[in-house]
Amino acid sequence: MNKNIAVIEGDGIGVEIIAEAVKVLKKIAQKFGHSFNLIPVEMGGCAIDKYGVALPDFSLDACKAADAVLLGAVGGPKWDDPTARVRPEQGLLGLRAGLGCFANIRPAKVYAPLAAASPLKDSIIGKGFDIVVVRELTGGIYFGESGREGDSAFDTERYSVPEVERIAHAAFKIARGRKKVLHSVDKANVLESSRLWRETVARVAKAYPDVSVINILVDNAAMQLVRNPAQFDVMLTSNIFGDILSDEASQITGSIGMLASASTGEGTRGLYEPIHGSAPDIAGKNIANPIATILSVAMMLDISFGLKAEAQAIDNAVDSVLSDNYRTADIATDGCTVLGTIQMGDLITERI
């Protein structure tokens, strides 16, 4: 297979973690007989300093021409002025919009060697925790009409049938490749937009008779995530509900440095990135955890390229390294061997 991948290092630790992800990509290419053409792209604070904008047109064009986009992280104190006309985050929003990414796919998994890092007690987390939150990314209350009138303010939750249909199809396709169980999260007992959501999901479900659908109210979903997270596999959510629940799910794992994500749209192209930020305070110190970025590569291979065996090889390598008690500083525990960014990337690459 021959694929073009736009690679955005970004700011802060982005340079370091992307370097380790690239090592993994090259090992996968060599081991499985693929060719990945890596195209450097500038975005974020570094692009502001150089070009005056967070996402130059030529950077967006390069991403649109690629088969997938791999991103490190953007932002930092240097560009944190809230009154600034140009901010690094504008690059990320512009990239998602430019690529037509409407589905945010965020897996949350507890690796057995890291189970002790979870805030949940052993009797709960010991049952296992491996879910995917599929969050609608471009609609809902964040994009509805908003404003102020006198001493009141309002934000409008609005969804159309096509918007719900396309995110539902994305979630059902993921569920079909996993345990074939999908929880659709809404607030249909109160919100009209959620009633439309539930009705539309039910219609889409007819195209996926092999997937079981469970409707769950968002407040109950939040409770059940900490009471019995093992019951979930794929969670389909609106924008605001997914924003909240995916953060809750990430904390159950206890290790933000382990969590990858994908933003996808129509077709196979996607944007892949760790969920953590640019961590400028540790940039250049060879202590950042590259695993979330490496796992983002695994997501890219699986979702955009359909290379499931290659994606599993990366996941297995990460699990092997953790099982042998190797850690970066952020996930270190008593008695483990602490590795730097480069050394962790090297070891995972060797285990593939």
187 as an active site residue: the answer is yes
**Candidate from 76-80, 171-175, 293-297 with smallest mean pLDDT:** 76-80
Spatial neighbors of 348 by CB under 8 A, at least 6 apart, are 20, 24, 290, 291, 294, 314, 317, 318, 321
pLDDT, mean of residues 180-192: 98
Tokens 């990337």 locate to 345
Residue of 155, 219, 281, 324 marked active site:
219
Residue of 130, 233, 243, 315 marked active site:
243
* Band of pLDDT at residue 113, cut at 50, 70 and 90: confident
Domain extents for the chain?
1-103+261-352, 119-253
What CATH number belongs to 1-103+261-352?
Answer: 3.40.718.10
pLDDT, mean of residues 142-166: 95
Does 119-253 match 1-103+261-352 at the fold level?
A: yes
Query: What pLDDT score was predicted for residue 93?
Result: 86
233 as an active site residue: the answer is no
Residue of 3, 187, 302, 326 marked active site:
187
Query: What pLDDT score was predicted for residue 268?
Result: 92
Element (H, E) at 102: none
31 as an active site residue: the answer is no
Is the predicted pLDDT of residue 97 greater than 90, yes or no?
A: no
Q: Report angle CA 308, 309, 314 to the nearest 5 degrees.
A: 95
Residue of 142, 173, 179, 180 marked active site:
142
The residue among 101, 3, 21 whose CA lies nearest residue 298 is: 21
Q: For residue range 231-249, what is the model confidence (pLDDT) as tens digits?
A: 999 999 999 999 999 989 9
User: Is there a contact between 96 and 264 (Cβ–Cβ < 8 Å)?
Assistant: no
142 as an active site residue: the answer is yes
Q: For residue range 118-130, what is the model confidence (pLDDT) as tens digits?
A: 899 988 988 888 9
3 state SS of 340: coil
Neighbours of 182 (CB within 10 A): 27
pLDDT, mean of residues 199-219: 98
219 as an active site residue: the answer is yes
Residue of 130, 247, 319, 346 marked active site:
247
Integer angstrom CA distances of residue 255 from 147, 182, 321, 324, 336: 37, 25, 15, 17, 16
Is the predicted pLDDT of residue 284 greater than 90, yes or no?
A: yes
3 state SS of 117: helix
Query: What pLDDT score was predicted for residue 82?
Result: 74
The residue among 134, 18, 139, 12 whose CA lies nearest residue 69 is: 18
Please return the burial class of 345, using the count of CB atoms within 10 Å of its CB with bins 0-12, 13-18 and 19+: buried
Q: From CA 85, how far away is CA 40, in angstroms rounded?
A: 26
What CATH number belongs to 119-253?
Answer: 3.40.718.10
Query: What pLDDT score was predicted for residue 255?
Result: 80
The residue among 306, 283, 51 whose CA lies nearest residue 177 is: 306
Neighbours of 186 (CB within 10 A): 23
Backbone angles phi, psi at 278, to 5 degrees: -85, -10
